[in-house]
Amino acid sequence: MPSLTRDEAVARAALLTVTAMDVDLDLDRGAEHFGSRTSIRFTCREPGASSFADVRPVALHAATLNGRVLGPDDLVDGRLALADLEADNVLEVEATMAFGHDGQGLHRSTDPADDEDYVYGHLFLDAAPRVFACFDQPDLKAPYTVAVDVPAHWSVVGNGAAHQVSSGRWRLATTRPLATYFVTVCAGPWVSVTAEHDGIPLGVHARRSLEAPLREQAEQMLATTRACFDGYHRLFGIRYPFGEYHQVFVPEFNAGAMENPGCVTFRDTYVFRGAATPDQLLERDNTIAHEMAHMWFGDLVTMRWWDDLWLNESFAEYMAYRTSAEVLGAPEAWVEFGMVRKLWGYAAERSPSTHPVAGSPAPDALSALQNFDGISYAKGASVLRQLIAHIGDDAFVAGVRDHLGAHAFGNGELAEFLDAMSRAAGRDLDGWAQAWLRTAGADRLALDSDGVLTRSTPAAQPASRPHTLDVAAFVGDDEVLRHRVVLDGDQVDVPGVDGLPADALVVPNAADLTWAEVALDPRTTEALVGNLADVPDPMARAVVWTSLLGGMAGAEVDPRLVLDVVEAAWPREDDASVLSRVSLVVTSSVVPLFLRAEEREEALERVAAAADVLADRAASDGGPAADALALVAARVWARSGSDLDRLHRWAAGHDLPASLGGDDDFRWLVLRRLSALDALDDAALGAAEAADRSLAGRLAALGVRAVRPTAAAKQWAWDRLHDDPDLSNYAALELARGFWAAPDPALVRPYVGRVGDLLAHLDTRMGEDALSRVAVALHPKGVVEPASLEASTAMLGRDDLSPGVRRALLDEDHVLREALASHARFA
């Protein structure tokens, strides 16, 4: 079906204004289909003109325009032709729609724990026509009035306050104007915890089988919600405008969360079934803050077209981390930002698919999905931090308030935002915006022993970006130098560097204030093994880790050095985000991609040994902080250890750290490692499945089967991906993530050239958003060989893969090239 082009959207918005949307959904027709009735009231500026509405039904039963019957020939490729429009119009459409199983549209999922079904709407980016007839573009906003029929024991949550009017019949209050992609309905036998704060009704909801952890964790989540509301009300000067505020934790969600006004949806793994580390709690708090920030950036003021996606995501990203640090009392949030989000963003910046923060071409809606990445999130947030350094925080906040007030319940774009900021700052910002927002690429910062800080700019993306940053130096656990500098040319002198001791670790951008690759000087790099753990500033340590891992990706740092630093410094780390992210990158990337196959077993043993050192440290330290260290150590050991006796004891629940007793998710992690070592028989796996009938357990079991290093297991996983028409988005992702795990590449080498055909086949039953995520996991980069690169290149040349899938494959192709370059240089 054709994707709406920007030109078509501009023309339709110039012609039409939508004044009211009435949607009636019947979700009580079984597991596959639902009924949809829509009444759209809209005006036309040129009576007699023609346009079209968007609708993608299984069956179109009736459609009338101003009482005139539209025939089946009027619906072509999801577009319903509307001819001879009047000044005021009513379009009525009745259709049967299909539930989605790929996380898009109205997704329906069965919880195997109790066989109950749950439905939620995820209408981003262009899935709304799979639910109701509409004009599906972000600048045709309208108030929605929604009614829903559901099984009698279900409840309903949506954008407007929901009220049950009879058995199985619910009505939702009419909303303020919403873009189509924000509309949602969440229906099922939810468990709910409700509260109220500052006149705003609050609710958190999850599946029945998650009742115990939801009730246990609800107050912490609601406390975060209350604090964020207070913080944003103070900051923006505009009260939350969308009535009630519900947060629904839904199954098989493609993203982390979605900012539907009044009814935010989250992936339900944020309701922790077992023990949670501090960084997991921080991530959940930050996600709550991020989605709430969208109530102003994205929902109150929505981008006019998808090329201004950054106006949503960069702002929500920055505001969430600012709020986590300043309002929630978690300054370590900025460490997590550097270790998790910026690592993601720098990888996107290195890829050939890199693009500017703002104004990236989006000729149609689907092409915009390709830029929904670490640049729009992490780089955009970093650029906003640089904007604040450039104009001051008071001017920034004043500009934000101006922009929100001027475009409330409407749409905005980059030029209008810059105008607001320029007025607040009292200066023209177009040159700054050209360098930071409209030009792709990351500068490279390097400091020599004489104290000269040099900026180099990518030759393919020339720009003069001013950087406000600091430089710090450490000797042992002492900070011996810190200077704040403004680099607005090619270089600047940093006082005091030339007099530092020979063993000093010197860290440019130590507070991680700017967006740039940091090249550590050779003396600092050589000293990391012995000295990194002593650096007292966790932010500076995070910058060093990011630099080290980025240098490895660029074939400038030997992955064996990374492993040496992990072995020496990681077990002495205190920051939870550094501990978790470094260990994950090492076990998921450094070892399986950047080391040769014959080195990986020994490398994993070294990682497991480092986890044991961390566990011993936790045991000797004692206290709540030690419990978190012990939890991280156990998880890392379970991903890397090969002591079968210990793994079997842990799988049986024996000799576990105290916080992991009865933790089903940890048990599945152990079983996955046993399966990867071909030390798990079918009987033990079957017993584990019987003991954990949850959705998480069912999915974990798929991954456990897929990682088993046998020809039969790989064939089973491949066939299941290809042949199972009922495979959900999460199930496909689990199988793909486990498939390439193999101690001997020969086991999976026969499949390398077949990935493109499989993805093309899956495209017939999965939406682009879901399939793009599967494509990332299914790319054959796990077999780091020239033949895999040949196969990857051939895939990129195909014409039967969607733009989003091609973009995902292009990024993974770049990762494979990075790994091959590292192998070639450091073999």
Active site residue ranges = 291
**Long-range contacts of residues 640-646, Cβ cutoff 8 Å, at least 24 apart:** 640/587, 640/604, 640/605, 640/607, 640/608, 640/611, 640/673, 641/604, 641/605, 641/608, 641/611, 641/673, 642/601, 642/604, 642/605, 642/608, 642/677, 643/608, 644/674, 644/677, 644/679
Quick check: bond before 125 cis, omega within 30? yes
> Apex CA 717: angle with CA 715 and CA 720, to 5°?
105
Question: Side chain identity at 495, as an amino acid letter?
Answer: P
Nearby residues of 130 by Cβ (< 8 Å), 6 or more positions away: 56, 97, 98, 100, 104, 105, 106
Nearby residues of 680 by Cβ (< 8 Å), 6 or more positions away: 671, 674, 704, 708
Burial of 772 by CB count in 10 Å (0-12 exposed, 13-18 middle, 19+ buried)?
Answer: buried
Residue 395, both tokens: 């001017």
Phi, psi for 647 (deg, rounded to 5): -60, -45
Give how far Cα 655 sits from Cα of 571, 677, 798, Å.
Answer: 21, 21, 52
Give me the helix-helix angle, 786-796 and 803-826, nearest 10°.
Answer: 160
| Strand ordering across the sheet containing 467-475 | 478-487, 467-475, 505-508
Residue 269, both tokens: 């793994």
Nearby residues of 515 by Cβ (< 8 Å), 6 or more positions away: 342, 345, 379, 382, 383, 386, 442, 443
- Compute the distance between CA of residue 543 and CA of residue 335 in angstroms, rounded to an integer: 9
Residue with tokens 């796996």: 685
- Give the three-class secondary structure for 664: helix
